[in-house]
Chains A and B, each alone.
Chain A
Amino acid sequence: MANENTYFWLIITLAFVMTVLGGTISSRRRKLPTLRHIPGYDAMPRAVDESIESDRRVHLSPGSAAVGQTSTLTAIAATSIIYALTERQSFLNRSPLVTLTDPVTMAMTNDILRKAYMARENLTAYRSRVVSWFPQGHNSVAFGAGAAIRAKNMDTSSHIMVGEFGPELAFIGESSVRNRQGFIAASTSLEGQAIAYAQSEAPLIGEEIFVGSAYLEPQSATFAGGVIALDVLRWAIIIAIIIAALVNA
């Protein structure tokens, strides 16, 4: 147990130091690091722009990611993406549709939408009712079916589903094909990730979900610092696995 705690603190300290250092160096040099190309994050702003041009809505969802449960940080990462994409279109009166399954996340998402409209000084266009709650828990198939129908009724042009999803994601993907809507998806659960890869036009994989802020708000040094921290941690884990394998060989 003592060992597990040591590793935990080591990872947290490394992440903390690298986020602060990466952010500070980037902002002092006034030049943010060049991020590698992720197709999913290229497709998201494009999907929002298309929805603006076609005067339709975009459907955003963190799925069953829930604040106060083990998926709290997934919910926070997903709402950061929701913020960035909503802010991009918040000069309009038409709000995006947001569907989710957790009531605490619903409150947080409403606040995030309010902030996105406030950032463009268009708070009068903010509508809390565009956030739809489907009262069902983890990996709810009913959520998938309900959200797909709601998105169709609200004339959405694309689905951007980033968060925690299971097999229910397949319904929304299937609905997007039937209704000629765009579909971009990523999930922190393995089942959802497999479906997202098969159905999404530009999938995100694994930890790419957590760097959305750095890609969608590229002017922020702290978000860039987070990407540097993630890369350093990833390499540290790879080196640790190789060393452990060699030692045990």
Chain B
Amino acid sequence: MQADRKTRKRRRLRLGNAVNATLVLALGFITMVGLLSPADSMTGLTADVFLQLVGVLAAVAVLVGVLNLLLVHLGRLPRVRKGGFYSLVVILSAVAVAVVHVLDRSKSWGGDLEGQKVGPRLFGVIQVTLESALAGMVFFFLVYATYRLMRHRVTWANLVFLAAVLIVLIGWLPLKGLDGAQDVRDWLMEVPVSAGARGLLIGIGLGTVTVGVRVLLGRERAYREP
């Protein structure tokens, strides 16, 4: 009896997989053909509608994400635990951003701020500054990573990597007498680095195509039950 139920459940799941795969295959092909057709053609317009639906879905997902984030942090507040203070900061920041946005939209600012948008200015002052400061540290992390790389394993690839890092760094030094290093740096950037980057990007493009084909064949996990 239980075995029968399990078999029926499995069949139902397979039917679900078939429906999902058919939907994805049909919608995927229509969108792909539409994107390659003129914008005012029937397939072009249909693809446009599908893409707009994706935009709406993404907007709803952002809303769900924000609610989820607030719920997670609100849940952490009553318990006195590590990181509780940061949760409070997140919640207060979210409320402050919402309030500032409402005030921006209703043009309620007075004095020097009259007629101005405070939200983007706050974003520039806080977020961009913080991100720039953090980005400045990436350089030091990378130099340390190169040192560690050589400490763990010395291979030809690692030696080439180290040599490239050194030449590029020396090439950027604004000192007289380093014209040779600057020429080598320019050649490195224009020839091998550019060729390698193109090779990587072509490979990634081909990989994307094969994953796309797998999606169109209905073999991806995203819409298939185990």
A178 to B140: give the CA distance in the assembly, Å: 14
A55 to chain B, nearest CB (A): 20
B169 to chain A, nearest CB (A): 14
Chain B binding surface SS class: helix
B179 within 8 A of A: no
B154 to chain A, nearest CB (A): 14
Given known contacts A111-B222, A141-B135, A206 and B145 CB-to-CB distance under 8 angstroms: no
Residues on A with C-beta less than 8 A from B134 are 141-142, 144-145, 171
Task: Classify chain B: how many residues form its interface, as a range.
Answer: 35 or more
Residues in B186-213 with C-beta less than 8 Å from chain A: 197, 199-204, 206-213
Residues in B150-195 with C-beta less than 8 Å from chain A: 152, 161
Residues on A with C-beta less than 8 A from B148 are 177, 199
User: B210 touching A233 by the CB < 8 A rule?
Assistant: yes
Q: Count of chain A residues with Cβ under 8 Å from any Cβ of B?
A: 69
A76 within 8 A of B: yes
Residues in A176-201 with C-beta less than 8 Å from chain B: 177, 188, 190, 193, 195, 197-199, 201
Most buried by A among B62, B201, B214: B214
- Residues of chain A whose beta carbon lies under 8 Å from any beta carbon of chain B: 5, 8-9, 11-12, 15-16, 19-20, 68, 73-74, 76-77, 79-80, 83, 87, 103-104, 106-108, 111-112, 115-116, 118-119, 129, 133, 135, 140-142, 144-145, 153, 167, 170-171, 173-174, 177, 188, 190, 193, 195, 197-199, 201, 205-211, 213, 220, 222-223, 226, 229-230, 233-234, 237
Given contacts A135-B65, A206-B203, 7 further A-B contacts (CB under 8 A): A80-B220, A107-B64, A173-B141, A177-B148, A195-B145, A207-B204, A230-B207
